[in-house]
A = this chain, B = another copy of it.
Amino acid sequence: MVTITDIANACGVSRATVSKALNGAPDVSRETADRIRETAASLGYLPNATARALKLGRSYNIGVLFSDETGGGISHEYFSRILESVKAESERLGYDITFISKDLGRMSMDYYEHAKYRSCDGVVIASADFQDPAIVRLAASEIPTVTLDYSFDNCSSILSDNVRGMEALVRFVHGKGHRRIAFIHGEITSVTQKRLASFRRTCAELGVPVPAEYIRPAVYHDPRSSGLATRALLALPDRPTCILFPDDLSFLGGMSELEKHGLAIPKDMSVAGYDGIPLSQVLRPRLTTYRQGAERMGAEAARLLIEQIEQPDTWIPQQITVEGELLEGNTVADIG
């Protein structure tokens, strides 16, 4: 391994001078600096991030947290889009990313300890149980933290616009003439609550009644549970004309249930999803859904976090809401 000492020897200067030359310090002469840089290049010198981190107390490494337990793991489309954009933006800004988990080999530690152990400069919490004391501890710690789809006091956060997303969907189906709109929602989280509230408020604004039995619980990303919820809705004496699903994958469960009942989409039942995963746009009929701005969310998360890391003095917590877009498929019939 080529170190700063090798360059120093090769150039007949001290290690200090090499370090300064490579970092562009002012008190190295032009010629010496050039000579050092050339030698460094010719020897194939690479700085050692570890040594630098130890000395500087800055690792240029940020942790990302995807809690697997909540099922919001990396393999869900929405989260992998977020991960990918956090990664891309971080790299653009000169930071690597490392996963933060509970426990590591035989060491048992919580998220905060893990992040400390790896001396992460900051952490992006992308999917987690925000009630988990370990998450709360991390968010409340001195480590700069940005959360996605949840807000802690004193942490910046990036929020998908669930309020406006749900509103857009409701207004869209209302515009198509629907007045009996059912909503199958995922597990109760802050995201779900926002969508529920927005659903209710928008319906109220539009003068659309929302019978209690039109709101059915299910589990995100679980076609089976949405299928059951769909069945329950179909059993109602006063069936809805349109069903909003918790997400696109869940819609598939509903779809097969509708099929079983011999109901065609959108002729006999209108439906809409949420997320706008690529699949939704190649399905026939193309699914009407709301695509969250995951790419921008990830990028903004990285940007905010690194800003906080690099300018801790001027930093104040920020909440950024990222809008998505309504993907108007053809699963909502015009019954106006």
Interface size on A, residues (CB 8 A): 55
Contact partner, A94, options B50, B104, B278, Cβ 8 Å: B104
11 pairs from A and B in contact (CB 8 Å cutoff): A46-B113, A46-B117, A50-B59, A50-B119, A61-B118, A91-B99, A97-B99, A98-B98, A252-B279, A252-B283, A256-B284
Q: Mark A174-202, 1 if CB is under 8 A from B, else 0.
A: 00000000000000000000000000000
Residues of chain B with a CB closer than 8 A to A103's CB? 91
Whether A278 pairs with B249 at a CB distance below 8 angstroms is: yes
Which residues of chain A from 274 to 332 have any CB-CB distance to chain B below 8 Å in the complex? 278-279, 282-284
Segment of A68-76, A151-159, A209-217, A231-239 in the binding face: A68-76
Residues of chain B with a CB closer than 8 A to A74's CB? 74, 80, 83-84, 87
A6 CB–B CB distance under 8 Å: no
A47 CB–B CB distance under 8 Å: yes
Q: Residues of A at under 8 Å CB distance from B?
A: 1, 46-51, 53-54, 59, 61, 68, 73-75, 77, 80-81, 83-84, 87-88, 91-99, 101, 103-107, 109, 113, 116-119, 223, 249, 252-253, 255-256, 259, 278-279, 282-284
Residues of chain B with a CB closer than 8 A to A283's CB? 252
Beyond the given A46-B113, A249-B279, A256-B284, please list 12 additional residue pairs across the A-B interface where CB-CB is below 8 A: A47-B117, A49-B117, A49-B119, A68-B88, A74-B83, A75-B81, A94-B105, A94-B106, A97-B99, A98-B98, A249-B278, A259-B284
Residues of chain B with a CB closer than 8 A to A101's CB? 87, 91
Chain B: which residue is nearest A97 at the CB level?
Answer: B99
Chain B: which residue is nearest A77 at the CB level?
Answer: B75
Chain B: which residue is nearest A223 at the CB level?
Answer: B282
Residues of chain B with a CB closer than 8 A to A48's CB? 54, 117, 119
Determine how close the nearest CB of chain B comes to the CB of A253; give it in whole angstroms.
6
Residues of chain B with a CB closer than 8 A to A282's CB? 223, 249, 252-253, 256
Instruction: Report the separation of the CA atoms of residues A84 and B74 in the bound assembly, to the nearest whole angstrom.
Output: 7
Instruction: Report the separation of the CA atoms of residues A73 and B278 in the bound assembly, to the nearest whole angstrom.
Output: 14
Instruction: Report the separation of the CA atoms of residues A81 and B47 in the bound assembly, to the nearest whole angstrom.
Output: 33
Whether B284 pairs with A255 at a CB distance below 8 angstroms is: yes
Residues of chain B with a CB closer than 8 A to A104's CB? 91, 94-96
Instruction: Report the separation of the CA atoms of residues A192 and B84 in the bound assembly, to the nearest whole angstrom.
Output: 26
- Among A81, A116, A255, residue most surrounded by chain B Cβ atoms (within 10 Å): A116
Residues of chain B with a CB closer than 8 A to A47's CB? 117
Determine how close the nearest CB of chain B comes to the CB of A118; give it in whole angstroms.
5
- Among A48, A113, A249, residue most surrounded by chain B Cβ atoms (within 10 Å): A48
Whether B94 pairs with A61 at a CB distance below 8 angstroms is: no
Instruction: Report the separation of the CA atoms of residues A47 and B114 in the bound assembly, to the nearest whole angstrom.
Output: 10
Instruction: Report the separation of the CA atoms of residues A285 and B109 in the bound assembly, to the nearest whole angstrom.
Output: 46
Residues of chain B with a CB closer than 8 A to A113's CB? 46
Determine how close the nearest CB of chain B comes to the CB of A255; give it in whole angstroms.
7
